[in-house]
Structure 1
Amino acid sequence: MERILEVKDLAIDFATYAGTVHAIRHVDFHLDKGETLAIVGESGSGKSVTMRTVMGLLANNARVVSGSVKLAGEDILHKSEKALNQMRGNEVAMIFQDPMTSLDPTMPIGKQVAEPLLLHTKATRAHAMKEAARVLALVGIPDAQARLKDYPHQFSGGQRQRIVIAIAIINHPKLLIADEPTTALDVTVQAQIVHLLKDIQAKLDTAIIFITHDLGVVAGIADRVAVMYAGKIIEYGTVDEIFYNPMHPYTWGLLEAMPTLSATRKRLFAIPGTPPDLLTPPQGDAFAPRNPYAMKIDQEQEPPFFAVSKTHAAATWLLHPDAPAVDPPAEIKRRKQIWAQKEGNHDYR
């Protein structure tokens, strides 16, 4: 399998008036051709900062402390701004959360979709506009040719998101980063956009990183999931492993907070407390103050990753051989029972 992206030991600080914020703290992950990786976590967990690093779009007050970000084998952290400009929209493209802030309200959408092709190739304007119409039709814009001269305000929210996707894919990038692309959309349109991304992936064989705080969306698009908290990845695995055999208490909280038809609570669950201040990252496990299963060691030492399977690992002391057995929440036990039945293993801890 061709490795498209490999991030190793990535650490990023931000200089602020209050001091240095340790926003990304030694993150590792990879992505192969044609694969979809979902990165999930609360706001402020570091998801978008990590992906902006992959795009070479870090703010001026950001500093890469350590690590490498290799796109198709080349470390982009050492590329010049000219090389990064050539890379963006050509090898890697990003779909942002709000299409209205991504699209220029004063420019017809045909020109906006064609622009990456004109910037990165020797295409003529006529060819670029022809390609723009083809790609707009591919993403599901009706009468695409006739609508090239229309402006963003003449489209619905779902259609505007499809236009943003068209801009991202017109140059057939190796990597497509979707930064919460369904957040501003209703549930029906969310499902349509997720289906569209999977369809595009199948046709173009591109790799996708899907950033979200909504685990419900993840189930329909991801092959693997990485859970982020306080600037670190704290659990990763296949989508089934994360949904049905989660091991980190933070992942338990995210899953409990999902509305489900099987839920017995009258009110939605919310993880108590707030994420830590990364001006002074806490000693030990950053999730310990919000973790009802925290032990003394959680206050003192940061947990390493413990392997659950060849594809699944979690950074929690609960997986240490000497850790006491705990009783997970009812919703997590229900999911683990489904996993145990599926795997033919009735010893679900």
Structure 2
Amino acid sequence: MTKVLDVKDLHVSFNTFNGEVQAVRGVTFDVTKGETVAIVGESGCGKSVTSQTIMRLIPNPPGFIKEGQIVFEGQDLAQYSEKQMEKVRGNDIAMIFQDPMTSLNPTMTVGRQITEGLIQHQNMSKQEAHEKAIEMLRLVGIPSPESRIKQYPHQFSGGMRQRAMIAIALACQPKLLIADEPTTALDVTIQAQIIDLMKDLQNKIDTSIILITHDLGVVADIADRVVVMYAGKVIETGKLDEIFYQPKHPYTWGLLASMPRLDQDDNTELLPIPGSPPNLLNPPPGCPFAARCPHAMKVCTEQMPETTEVSTTHQVACWLDHPLAPDVKPPAGAVRGE
């Protein structure tokens, strides 16, 4: 499969009054053509910083790329100037932001916000862009697009604003779409509609998707592969079935065990992950999850485990995967199908 994006050993930090916050620490993953890769983890684990760095939207200062590569179609975006990135953003790579009400411009009509990118990147006339914008609104399921195109974001419902954001992102038919929590704050039925819409549009234009989320239910519905992040690091990655049915890292077990399941009894308690993520001003020398892990060993607190291959598509960074480690089984509820 052709790689559309290849992120290699990416480090992103922020300079603060208290010191350097190491938000992303050696993240490596790739996305192939037509594939959906989900990046999951708790709030503050580095998911959104990673996605915004790919788009080069991290403000500098205080943020900066410390090292690493963001290879998109053979070109390292980490070395691109702002002028070069302006040609990429919205055209080759587009992003659906977490909160459409704060991402859409309240002073501009929805139609104008769609036509902007078409005129700039596709060299369309205003009339051509206007017709294309109507087509995009119709494509994402907004009724009466001819009249809706003249309205402002506050005149749209939450679900319609998210659809408008998708229309803006997909107007130029990007090769890579980054969706940062696209279903947050939407009710369950609208969430399902948005996910179905993204899958349908992906099939139509063959775009690749990076989905940033903490909702494993959404991941199960749309993802081909899953990247599990914790404290700025990738700790496990694999195909959807491998992560859900054969998880190897205790943090992945915790995420899965804390997710409600339809096949469980109503009185079954969810198992939360105790403790809090480490302070990335001074990250621990060993595994960042060691302080919260019920299976932590001495080596876990002293040295970060290397990434090992469970299979050609499944990798994990955990000392429990070492041949000399004790045989530890996932807790009840951490493996789907049990």
Cα distance in structure 1, aligned partners of 2:281 and 2:109: 44
Residue in 2 that maps onto 1:155: 156
Residue in 1 that maps onto 2:132: 131
CA deviation string 1:60-98 (max 9, x = no partner)? 211212111011111111111111111100110000011
**How far does residue 266 in structure 1 lie from its aligned partner after superposition?**
4.1
Residue in 2 that maps onto 1:46: 46
Matched letter for residue 14 of structure 1: F
Cα distance in structure 1, aligned partners of 2:134 and 2:69: 38
Cα distance in structure 2, aligned partners of 1:77 and 1:313: 25
Matched letter for residue 6 of structure 2: E
Q: What is the TM-score when the length of structure 1 is the normalising length? A: 0.94
**How far does residue 269 in structure 1 lie from its aligned partner after superposition?**
2.3
Q: Please state if 1:8 is matched with 2:8.
A: yes
Cα distance in structure 2, aligned partners of 1:240 and 1:215: 12
Report the secondary structure of 1:331's partner residue: coil
Q: 1:109-258 to 2 correspondence within 5 Å? A: 109-258=110-259
Report the secondary structure of 1:24's partner residue: strand
**How far does residue 111 in structure 1 lie from its aligned partner after superposition?**
1.0
Mind listing any 5+ residue stretches in structure 2 that lack a counterpart?
none
Number of aligned residue pairs: 336
Cα distance in structure 1, aligned partners of 2:89 and 2:143: 28
CA RMSD of aligned residues (A): 1.2
Q: Which moved more, 1:289-298 or 1:321-330?
A: 321-330
Identical pairs, percent: 57
Matched letter for residue 326 of structure 2: P
Matched letter for residue 309 of structure 2: A
Q: Is the 8 A contact 2:35 2:224 kept in 1?
A: yes
Q: Is the 8 A contact 2:229 2:236 kept in 1?
A: yes
Q: What is the TM-score when the length of structure 2 is the normalising length? A: 0.97
Residue in 1 that maps onto 2:293: 291
Matched letter for residue 45 of structure 2: S
Q: Is the 8 A contact 2:254 2:334 kept in 1?
A: no
Mind listing any 5+ residue stretches in structure 1 that lack a counterpart?
338-349
Residue in 2 that maps onto 1:315: 317
Matched letter for residue 8 of structure 2: K
Report the secondary structure of 2:262's partner residue: coil
Cα distance in structure 2, aligned partners of 1:308 and 1:146: 54
Cα distance in structure 1, aligned partners of 2:107 and 2:285: 50
**How far does residue 16 in structure 1 lie from its aligned partner after superposition?**
0.4
**How far does residue 336 in structure 1 lie from its aligned partner after superposition?**
6.5
Cα distance in structure 2, aligned partners of 1:166 and 1:270: 37
Q: Is the 8 A contact 1:41 1:212 kept in 2?
A: yes
Matched letter for residue 75 of structure 1: D
